[in-house]
Structure 1
Amino acid sequence: MQHTHETLGRLHEQGAVCPIRMPHGTPSYLVTGYDEARALLADPRLSKNNRGAYDLMIAKVGGENINRSFGQLLGAHMLNTDAPDHTRLRKLVNKAFTPRAIAGLRPRIEQITTELLDAMAEHDQVDLMTAFAGPVPITVICELLGVREEDRGEFTGWSNILLGAGDLDEMQAAAVAMHTYLVALVAQKRAEPGEDLLSGLVQASDEGDSLSEEELVAMAFLLLVAGHETTVNLIGNAVLALLRAPEQRAKLAADPSLMPGAVEEFLRFDGPINIATLRYTVEDVEVGDHKIPAGEFVQVSLLAANRDEGRFPDPADLDVTRAAGGHLAFGHGIHYCVGAPLARMEAEIALTALLARFPRLRLAGPEEDLVYRTSPLVHGVKTLPVLLR
Structure 2
Amino acid sequence: MSTPTTPVPEAPFTIGTPEFVADPQAHYAWLRENAPLARTRLEYGPVSQPIWVFSRYRDCRAMLTDPRLPRSPAGGSAMTTGLPEHLRLLSIESVIMKDDPEHKRLRSLVSRPFTPRMTAKLGERVRDLAVARLDALAGQDVVDLRQEFALPIPYTVIAEMVGVDEADRPRFQSGVTALLSDRSAEGWDLQIRDLVAFTRDLVARKHDDPGDDILTGLIHAEEDGDRLSEDEVVAMVFTLVIAGYETTYNLITNAVVTLLDHPEQRTRLQQAPDDDALWRSAIEEIVRYSGPVGGTKPATAAEDIDWDGRTIPAGSSVLPLLGSANRDPDAFDAPDRFDITRSPNHHLGFGYGPHFCLGANLARLEARIAVQTLLARHPHVSLAIPRDELRLEPMPLWTRYDTLPVLLG
TM score, norm. by length of structure 2: 0.84
Q: Answer whether contact 1:163 1:377 (CA < 8 A) is retained.
A: no
Paired residue type of 1:26: Q
Deviations 1:181-218 (A, max 9, x none): 3223223323332121112323448x973423222211
Paired residue type of 1:6: A
**Partner Cα separation in structure 2 for residue 173 and residue 52 of structure 1:** 29
Farther off after superposition, 306-315 or 71-80: 71-80
Counterpart check, 1:301 vs 2:318: no
Match of 1:271 among 291, 302, 318: 291
**Cα shift at 1:152:** 4.4
Give the direction of change, closer, same or farther, for the CA distance of 1:128–1:194 in structure 2 (3 Å limit).
same
Paired residue type of 1:3: D
Give secondary structure in 2 for the equivalent of 1:97: coil
Farther off after superposition, 161-170 or 16-25: 161-170
**Partner Cα separation in structure 1 for residue 76 and residue 255 of structure 2:** 33
- Structure possessing the higher radius of gyration over alpha carbons: 2
Tell me the equivalent position of 2:356.
336
Farther off after superposition, 355-364 or 94-103: 94-103
Tell me the equivalent position of 1:176.
193
Counterpart check, 1:3 vs 2:23: yes
Counterpart check, 1:325 vs 2:341: no
**% identical equivalent positions:** 40
**Partner Cα separation in structure 2 for residue 53 and residue 272 of structure 1:** 29
Tell me the equivalent position of 2:3.
none
Q: Answer whether contact 2:113 2:218 (CA < 8 A) is retained.
A: no
Give secondary structure in 1 for the equivalent of 2:358: coil
Report how many residues are paired: 380
Give secondary structure in 2 for the equivalent of 1:299: strand
Match of 1:71 among 81, 84, 87: 87
Which consecutive unaligned segments of at least 5 residues does structure 1 have? 57-62
**Partner Cα separation in structure 2 for residue 286 and residue 169 of structure 1:** 43
Tell me the equivalent position of 1:218.
235
Q: Answer whether contact 1:302 1:331 (CA < 8 A) is retained.
A: yes
Give the direction of change, closer, same or farther, for the CA distance of 1:146–1:330 in structure 2 (3 Å limit).
same
Give secondary structure in 2 for the equivalent of 1:21: strand
Which consecutive unaligned segments of at least 5 residues does structure 2 have? 1-20
Give the direction of change, closer, same or farther, for the CA distance of 1:384–1:158 in structure 2 (3 Å limit).
farther
**Partner Cα separation in structure 2 for residue 51 and residue 175 of structure 1:** 28
Give the direction of change, closer, same or farther, for the CA distance of 1:84–1:299 in structure 2 (3 Å limit).
same
**Partner Cα separation in structure 1 for residue 288 and residue 348 of structure 2:** 7
Give secondary structure in 2 for the equivalent of 1:194: coil
Farther off after superposition, 171-180 or 88-97: 171-180
Tell me the equivalent position of 2:399.
379
Match of 2:129 among 93, 96, 112: 112
Tell me the equivalent position of 2:39.
19
Q: CA RMSD in A?
A: 2.8
**Partner Cα separation in structure 2 for residue 2 and residue 68 of structure 1:** 36
Give the direction of change, closer, same or farther, for the CA distance of 1:369–1:68 in structure 2 (3 Å limit).
farther
**Cα shift at 1:270:** 0.7
Tell me the equivalent position of 1:41.
64
Higher helix share: 1
Paired residue type of 1:93: V
**Cα shift at 1:43:** 1.2
Farther off after superposition, 273-282 or 163-172: 163-172
Paired residue type of 1:94: S
**Cα shift at 1:50:** 8.0
Tell me the equivalent position of 2:334.
314
Give secondary structure in 2 for the equivalent of 1:227: helix
Give the direction of change, closer, same or farther, for the CA distance of 1:369–1:180 in structure 2 (3 Å limit).
farther
1:156-305 to 2 correspondence within 5 Å?
156=173, 158-164=175-181, 167=184, 171-204=188-221, 209-256=226-273, 257=275, 258-288=278-308, 290-305=310-325
Q: Answer whether contact 1:50 1:81 (CA < 8 A) is retained.
A: no
TM score, norm. by length of structure 1: 0.88
**Cα shift at 1:153:** 5.3
Give the direction of change, closer, same or farther, for the CA distance of 1:18–1:103 in structure 2 (3 Å limit).
same
Tell me the equivalent position of 2:16.
none
Deviations 1:320-373 (A, max 9, x none): 121252101111111112332222121111111111111111111122332223
**Partner Cα separation in structure 1 for residue 398 and residue 208 of structure 2:** 35
